[in-house]
Structure 1
Amino acid sequence: MACCGVLGKELYNARKKAALSQEVVAARAGISREYLSQLENDKKSPTVRVFLNLCRALGVSASRLIEKLDKAG
């Protein structure tokens, strides 16, 4: 699901904007902090389920994030 290295940056920016730690977001999304770090650094790509869980954990719209990815790619 990563698009040109943009998804990780967008996840990171959304987390910082929400003033949340990796630990908090990871716990809310049901993933490990290490996995979240890999996602934010574009070392891994999330499944659709993980992507949706992260959007909920960050309080961002999945469609808005996908739109940003589409514009970047």
Structure 2
Amino acid sequence: MTINELSTRLRHKGFLRIHRSFLINTSWIIAVNNDAILLSGFKIPVGRSYKKEFDDVLKKFYAKRLF
């Protein structure tokens, strides 16, 4: 199974592809900056081609928490 297939299968369970080598569980995000996230003590880069989707998911997540 490829990471693309995993990403598609797990997307509705809170997983998100943020780099060609990383698929993350969004519930474990501790901190975010412009080019990386902190995930349970690991700094993981956000790939350029995944940045917009990641930003959109983050905005939706925080919008839900505000209301």
- Which has more radius of gyration? 2
More strand by share: 2
Q: Shorter-normalised TM-score: what interval? A: 0.3 to 0.5
Q: Which has the higher contact order (CA 8 A, sep 6+)?
A: 1
